Amino acid sequence: MPSSALRAEDGRDIPLHTWLPEGEPDAVVQVLHGLGEHAGRYARFAAAATGANLAVVAHDHRGHGRHPAVRGHFADRHGWDLVLGDVLAVNGRIAAQFPGRPLILLGHSMGSFIAQAFLMRHPGQADRLILSGSSFGKRGEMHMAHALAAVLSAFGGRRRSALLDALGFGAFNRPFRPARTDYDWLSRDEAEVDRYLADPLCGGRFTNRLWHDLTGGLLEITSAIAVGRIPAELPVLIVGGQRDPVGGERRLEKLAAVYRETGHGDVTLRVYPDARHEMLNEINRDAVTTDVLCWIRSKL
């Protein structure tokens, strides 16, 4: 897996990970990782994808992985815009490196929200869309969280609020009590949860400003009007666990329904029974990976 850096619009380096098949790829998967993790965690999926003659390109979001920004912090100002600008920069690099190849945008969790926001602003920059561990949330809850993050940011954008952390993640483990760890909600596979806990580039608490940026981004994308800005002809795959506290069956079904209601004619929803948040790290990850790759092949 060659690693490199790409220059962002504000001059910062974007850590870039690229996995290539032996020959010319049939298509490229651009991966957008979730909150509190990093692009390197997608190496296992990338190995399967390259085996299917797909290239995979992923980068570390600001404040994540090996990105030079402050850990757990997008930026002091305009963080959401800068995150989307990084996605556009990587997207442009892919187009230059693999001209004419279809591009599949795969976003997990926070990455699924970033992927949607990106396509709402840049509608023609992907040929397929995969949303993993996603959700269609309640705007009232988002408004309250956004307002709270705004107040706390006024007292220190780089401070890290235990209250915001509790609101963001505090309830996720409750359905799995008695819990072995604070992250049992990620996967039924204890080894995968332990691997997350042992990874120095995973977890941690996030800044007030990041929560303000993220909740603002969620408000930007969570409406039928916003979803309608994504091209209706774009094939969409939505995958997630039935017991995922981020989305779960009900909110995944709502997300798929909104896409269909806004004229998207090729929407596939796959909800996996009893599964939790990280489908690519779940006990049935091989079946999920096969399903995702088969869907990609069927759309090429």
- The sign of the torsion formed by the CA atoms of 203, 208, 209, 211 equals positive
Q: Of 30, 99, 38, 36, which Cα lies nearest the Cα of 67?
A: 38
pLDDT over 70 (residue 3): no
Note the pLDDT tens digit of each residue in 115-174: 999 999 999 999 999 999 999 999 999 999 999 999 999 999 999 999 999 888 888 999
Mean pLDDT of 197-206: 96
Note the pLDDT tens digit of each residue in 4-17: 678 888 888 899 99
Token pair belonging to 269:
């929803």
Token pair belonging to 97:
């490196």
pLDDT over 80 (residue 92): yes
User: Can you list the domains of the chain with their CATH numbers?
Assistant: 3-137+224-299 (3.40.50.1820)
Mean pLDDT of 91-104: 97
Q: What is the pLDDT of residue 2?
A: 46
Mean pLDDT of 200-213: 96
Contacts with 136 (C-beta within 8 Å, 6 or more apart), sequence order? 222, 247, 251, 254, 255, 258
Whether 57 and 18 have beta carbons less than 8 Å apart is answered as yes
Mean pLDDT of 89-94: 96
Whether 88 and 125 have beta carbons less than 8 Å apart is answered as yes
Across the beta sheet with 128-132, the strand order is 3-7, 13-19, 54-59, 27-32, 103-108, 128-132, 236-241, 267-272
Whether 159 and 208 have beta carbons less than 8 Å apart is answered as yes
Element (H, E) at 89: helix 79-97
Q: What is the pLDDT of residue 167?
A: 84
Residue 213 DSSP symbol: H
Q: What is the CA radius of gyration of the chain?
A: 18
Note the pLDDT tens digit of each residue in 116-126: 999 999 999 99
pLDDT over 70 (residue 50): yes
Mean pLDDT of 195-218: 97
Burial class of residue 55, CB neighbours in 10 A (0-12, 13-18, 19+)? buried
Q: What is the pLDDT of residue 1?
A: 47
Note the pLDDT tens digit of each residue in 225-242: 999 999 999 999 999 999
Tokens 């290539």, located at residue: 20
Task: Report the alpha-carbon distance of residue 124 to residue 112 in Å, rounded.
Answer: 17
Task: Report the alpha-carbon distance of residue 149 to residue 216 in Å, rounded.
Answer: 10
Averaged pLDDT score across all residues of the chain: 96
Note the pLDDT tens digit of each residue in 255-299: 999 999 999 999 999 999 999 999 999 999 999 999 999 999 999
Q: What is the pLDDT of residue 188?
A: 98
Whether 170 and 251 have beta carbons less than 8 Å apart is answered as no
pLDDT over 70 (residue 97): yes
DSSP sequence for 231-245: -TTS-EEEEEETT-S
Task: Report the alpha-carbon distance of residue 55 to residue 279 in Å, rounded.
Answer: 20
- pTM score, whole prediction: 0.97
Q: What is the pLDDT of residue 286?
A: 98
Q: What is the pLDDT of residue 7?
A: 85
pLDDT band for position 252 (50/70/90)?
Answer: very high
